Structure 1
Amino acid sequence: MARRISVVTAVHAPSAAYLQDAYKSLEMQELPAGWEWHWSIREDGTGEEVAPYVPNDVRVTFRQGRGGGPGVTRTMALAEAHGDYVKVLDADDQLTPGALARDIAVLDANPDVGWTTSRVLDLLPDGSTAGFDQDPDDGPVERGAVLEHWEANNFRAQVHPATLCVRRDLLLALGGWMALPASEDTGLLLALNAVSRGWFIRDSGLLYRKWPGQMTSQASHSNAAELEARMSVIAARAHTLTDFDWTIPLHG
């Protein structure tokens, strides 16, 4: 039986039209021998706007449910994600060629590594791309390094949570994504780094779409009181996990 990497996507009506581009980027992935992908798409809500954009493919599962935000929606999507590894793909983003194969290669070769992230290119409205000039070196991200950088750089991590690929058992042990209205992926990233080493892949793994409707561009995302509360909870969780000194077992 083939091993599986599960791709998890939370979607709501404004981003549904971009699902086709995300699907095309999945179809382009060439996986190592003996591997397959499955795409678990879950709508944050129960409307009728998203379903017409879901690809008709046996490798794709689509479910709906009451709204709870992206973190709750992704966590619920884990019910359909049974692969060894879970890869995040936001509905409005696209994987670059080879992204899944690189994630698999790192996690298979390094049993002490719990998760990977990769370089991101912003996909601008005119179709051009722009990179980040402060990416870390290719290779291991030691425990605690992301939290240290995040706290020293105004709550900005040196690696991007939208590129995350993680061992499914580790993701479940941490409870999935944080139940926050935003920054839930950053909260998960810091929790993962508190209990396990990660790996940064210097090759670009994601086209991160910039468009007016994306959630991070909304005024509510930057509300000062909510932002302070989110960052406080994220930091407290990461520090508590660090103090507990939990660590993942080696994977054979």
Structure 2
Amino acid sequence: MSSVSVVIPCYRYGHFLEQSVGSALTGQDGVDVKVLIIDDASPDDSAEVARRIAKSDSRVEVLVHERNKGHLATYNEGLLEWADGDYTVLLSADDRLTPGALVRAAALLDAHPNVGFAYGHPLHFRADQPLPPARTEGRGWSVWPGKWWLERRFRAGHGCITSPEVVVRTDLQRKLGGYDPRLPHAGDIEMWMRFAAHADVGYLKGVDQAYYRVHSASMSKTDFSGQLDDLRQRKAAYDAVLERANELTAAERDRLGAIVHRKIARQALWRAARAYDRGRTAQVPVDELVAFAAECWPHYENLREFAGLSLRRRIGPKAMPYLQPLVLTAVAHHARERLWWRTWRRTGV
């Protein structure tokens, strides 16, 4: 029977612990599970709640910090110093696993020793809404070459994993390390990509592997705050992967770097353009986003997103929200004309 170490970091989330711990210990028949709750010096009663849970179940251990170490240091403490099962899961105290999630992931990892981590679909939920039903009868799995999956992430320019839905091979975790302290907001995507450079990736099809809680503060957060910081952290994560990826040739690193830098430049320009569409140019750092795009991709002025932004600038931030439908139609028509022209020059038809 495979063993799974579940690390549950907690800071002021003691009121969620029973549900989180319970999801790791209940409905996971077929794997040997043990849980570590790490309370990061919570100022409330979270540590007491954790100790009470551990007292009632011998599979649960508790570690309480005397001073707050921060989330990444807490994650790494559990993942690298405590976890000793075949596989490891990092589960936030406010999230949950679905019934059978660990069993399904362990079966994939048992069957494919070349797979470094396995993940599936996460269900997002809010505390003020009923918990959505989870799909627990899967349709098998897919195993992707790690470098193929890595390139997909570089082409997308963003992550596809929230975290609780991932089960990692513990040996790989220890070999490659944990979260990079230089990336407080993008350490997860960097770590998954780092793993994919060394091992294949497994995906569980047709099932929901975890519940990811969306807090009301996150729901109400405006979409224009911190946009530049988010992009900078994302670029730093990809650059860190390229810096460490000794398994890639210099040519592969150069190619992937060009792909993601161009993609992130386009995303920065798109966010700047959307500020005009929404009348938010006073809140969104438009000029800084354009400068960041130039930093990412020297030929940013040739990108279609820059053309769209230039048109919006000529129209102005006051009129743009009202003229947005017409502008988007014109931009789409211009893009079709450029595509036709390039096709005609290449094929003559």
The TM-score, its normalising length taken from structure 2, stands at: 0.60
The answer on 1:166 being equivalent to 2:172 is no
**Equivalent position to 2:141, from 138, 141, 159:** 138
**Equivalent position to 1:102, from 80, 104, 119:** 104
Unaligned residue ranges in structure 1 (runs of 5+)? 132-136, 247-252
Distance 2:227 2:39 in 1: 28
Instruction: Tell me if structure 1 keeps the 8 A contact 2:162–2:212.
Output: no
**Equivalent position to 1:206, from 206, 210, 216:** 210
Residue of structure 1 in register with 2:20 after alignment? 22
Distance 2:84 2:157 in 1: 36
Deviation at 1:168, TM superposition (A): 1.0
Amino acid at match of 2:78: A
Aligned-residue Cα RMSD (Å) equals 2.8
Deviation at 1:46, TM superposition (A): 5.3
Distance 2:179 2:101 in 1: 22
SS at 2:216's partner residue? coil
**Equivalent position to 2:86, from 65, 84, 87:** 84
Label 1:63 to 1:199 Cα distance change in 2 as closer, same or farther (>3 A).
Answer: same
SS at 1:115's partner residue? strand
SS at 1:229's partner residue? helix
Instruction: Tell me if structure 2 keeps the 8 A contact 1:121–1:206.
Output: yes
Aligned counterparts, 1:211-230, within 5 A? 211-212=215-216, 223-230=226-233
Deviation at 1:190, TM superposition (A): 1.3
Instruction: Tell me if structure 2 keeps the 8 A contact 1:123–1:209.
Output: yes
Amino acid at match of 2:118: T
Distance 2:68 2:169 in 1: 26
- In terms of mean alpha carbon deviation, does 117-126 or 233-242 score higher? 233-242
Label 1:165 to 1:175 Cα distance change in 2 as closer, same or farther (>3 A).
Answer: same
Distance 2:184 2:39 in 1: 15
The TM-score, its normalising length taken from structure 1, stands at: 0.81
SS at 2:121's partner residue? strand
Instruction: Tell me if structure 2 keeps the 8 A contact 1:195–1:245.
Output: no
SS at 1:155's partner residue? coil
Instruction: Tell me if structure 1 keeps the 8 A contact 2:143–2:202.
Output: yes
Residue of structure 2 in register with 1:59 after alignment? 59
Label 1:12 to 1:222 Cα distance change in 2 as closer, same or farther (>3 A).
Answer: farther
Distance 2:142 2:59 in 1: 31
Amino acid at match of 2:107: A
Deviation at 1:112, TM superposition (A): 0.8
Label 1:228 to 1:67 Cα distance change in 2 as closer, same or farther (>3 A).
Answer: farther
Instruction: Tell me if structure 1 keeps the 8 A contact 2:8–2:91.
Output: yes
Residue of structure 2 in register with 1:12 after alignment? 11
- In terms of mean alpha carbon deviation, does 81-90 or 37-46 score higher? 37-46
Compare relative contact order (CA 8 Å, sep 6+) and give the higher one, 1 or 2.
Answer: 1
Amino acid at match of 1:178: D
Label 1:231 to 1:222 Cα distance change in 2 as closer, same or farther (>3 A).
Answer: farther
